[in-house]
Amino acid sequence: MSEQDVQPDRSESAGVVTEPTWWGTHLREIRWQAELARLLADPVWRHVDLPRGDGEPVLLIPGFLAGDQSLSVMASWLRKLGYRPRRAGMSFNVACSDIAVDRLEKVLAHAHLSSGRKVAIVGHSRGGHFARALAVRHPEQVSQVISMGSGLDVPFDISEPTRLAVEGVRRMVARRDPERAALGCFTHACLCRYARDYRSPFPETVPLTSIYSKGDGVVRWRACVVPYARNVEVTGSHIGLAFNRYAYREIAHTLAPST
């Protein structure tokens, strides 16, 4: 059996559930290139048998260490499907979460006001954490949230190499902004507004769909499965969720206007 087939022992410290060290399957993450090629050859890329959009704005939020470019394929596909994709304005998603969500709050408000409609949010990995917090802050502006490979209750249920990358960013933030470091930025104990919003109950008025893969080599897939979401399993890698043909089909049907 693999690590993914066995529920690991869990321990609690200071109210935080921790898991044994997991090294992930990062070498298998290079599959994203094959997943992109499969997407471009699949009928879903040509919008075959998919419901059309009605111009709804869709805010796309990239994952940790990634930028808007990582979701540019999805943006192009959504635009041709009949939606109005909006960039998050991120070139490299490593900023303090509180600062990042404050900026995204303005992007969301502009998309909402300029369109006169609620905004759907699609977040990949860390982008799903931000989408969750935004929906808590402004449920009146959000039509629904779709997360992809995002831990929705425990943000750091991740592989050890990823955790070390997060620790490196945390140290960088601490050097530049000691006040935020004192609040616990990039840790379970963070006390900022973003962390409080992320931990708050998800609004019942906002539909939430969590797309995950048991082949995820970066985020433990169980962290993506929560009782307050519609949980949808697909096959593929973590990085590849941004190009996953099965995820795209699910996104098209989830975003489809109700009749």
Mean pLDDT, residues 134-158 taken together:
98
| pLDDT tens per residue across span 162-194 | 999 999 999 988 898 888 878 888 888 898 999
Asked if 234 and 246 count as a contact pair (C-beta separation under 8 A), the reply is: yes
Asked if 67 and 91 count as a contact pair (C-beta separation under 8 A), the reply is: yes
Query: What does the alpha-carbon distance between residue 83 and residue 55 come to, in Å, rounded to a whole number?
Result: 4
| pLDDT tens per residue across span 74-121 | 999 999 999 999 999 999 999 999 999 999 999 999 999 999 999 999
Q: Is 170 helix (H, G, I), strand (E, B) or coil?
A: helix
CB-count burial class (<10 Å; 0-12, 13-18, 19+) for 164? exposed
User: Of 11, 177, 5, 214, which Cα lies nearest the Cα of 97?
Assistant: 177
For residue 18, pLDDT beyond 70? no
What is the chain's Cα-based Rg? 18
Mean pLDDT, residues 229-245 taken together:
98
Handedness of CA 227, 231, 233, 237 (dihedral sign): negative
User: Pick the residue with more confidence: 170 or 39?
Assistant: 39
Question: What band does 258 get if pLDDT is binned at 50, 70 and 90?
Answer: confident
Q: Which fold has domain 21-255?
A: Rossmann fold (3.40.50)
| pLDDT tens per residue across span 187-217 | 888 989 999 999 999 999 999 999 999 999 9
pLDDT at 180: 81
Query: Which of 13-17, 30-34, 242-246 shows the lowest mean pLDDT across its residues?
Result: 13-17
Q: 113 CB contacts (<8 Å, ≥6 apart)?
A: none
Mean model confidence pLDDT for the chain: 92
Query: Taking the CA of residue 185 as centre, how many other CA atoms within 13 Å lie in the half-sphere pointing to its CB?
Result: 22
pLDDT at 10: 43
